[in-house]
Amino acid sequence: MAVSTDRISVHSMADLKNTSDDAIPAYLNSLKFTQSHHLSDTRLALGYSAFAICAATFYWDYKLGFESTKHYTAVAVAIYAILNGILTFWIWGVEKGKVYIGTNKAGQRIEISSKTEKFTPIYNLSVTTVQKGGKSETVSIKKPFNAWFDKAGHFVALPFQQMLASGVKIVGEADPTKVVEAKKKEKKVEGPDKSMDEKWASLLAESSGVSLDDVVASPAATPSGRKKRAKKA
């Protein structure tokens, strides 16, 4: 299925990001990566234990009243606060926006985290590949969402998968047909035949320090163009 039948609103950053995030496990799992769920499972376990404590508190408070249960309630409130604290730490300090962790048959591990900035429709991926010996390498990929969402808001899988296959070596090895040569750049001609949308996209890309033609980004690229622009303004 090249184009998904579901439509999202192209003006909603949350929709753009969530749909793209969901496409990563779907693609990589289809390439025989084995997904590891331990991050989200831990988060769910923490959250549901906290919720269970709250439910118990609600029940005994409702059944037995405040006076006779207040010492248990105090303990429950403390445990709830601690669990919620650990949960917050887990989300901000450990998960850090990771949307996929998986290993392939050769034992290489891949960890992908995604990020977007408010009002900037650019998808920032940080992909860490850990070799079997423990040697790790991180590449970052930046691409505007309109590379794989059409105007109506349909997700188009091919360019998205090409981005991952070309940007990440072990994905490219698993799916060589999707690798697009990074250096095959044509100089685009700025002309009147360019549509308004294309101009818009290139303007946006330029202001965020990304080239539209650049499928593969350099490791840990810093958006220096952005800073300059900010200073001028």
User: Which of residues 3, 30, 32, 41 is near another protein by CB under 8 A?
Assistant: 41
Which pair of structure tokens corresponds to residue 113? Answer: 């985290």
Of 154, 107, 160, the closest CA to residue 130 belongs to 107
Residues 173-212, mask of contacts with another protein (x by CB under 8 A): ----------------------------------------
User: Which of residues 3, 51, 85, 227 is near another protein by CB under 8 A?
Assistant: 51
Within 98-157, the residues that bind another protein by CB under 8 A are none
| Rounded Cα–Cα distance for residues 220 and 209 (Å) | 13
Does 80 bind another protein (CB under 8 A)? Our answer is: yes
Within 8-37, the residues that bind another protein by CB under 8 A are 12, 14-15, 18, 22, 37
| Rounded Cα–Cα distance for residues 132 and 86 (Å) | 30
For another protein, the closer CB: 37 or 96: 37
Does 4 bind another protein (CB under 8 A)? Our answer is: no
Q: What is the chain's length?
A: 233
Q: Count H helices and E strands in the chain, helices first.
A: 7, 7
Query: Which amino acid is it at 76?
Result: A
User: Which of residues 7, 36, 61, 120 is near another protein by CB under 8 A?
Assistant: 61
* Residue 23 Cβ vs another protein, minimum distance, rounded to whole Å: 12
Complete DSSP assignment for 35-85: EP-HHHHHHHHHHHHHHHHHHHHHHHHHHH-SGGGHHHHHHHHHHHHHHHH
Interacting residues with another protein (CB under 8 A)? 12, 14-15, 18, 22, 37, 40-41, 43-44, 47-48, 50-51, 54-55, 57-58, 61, 65-67, 70, 73-74, 76-77, 80-81, 84
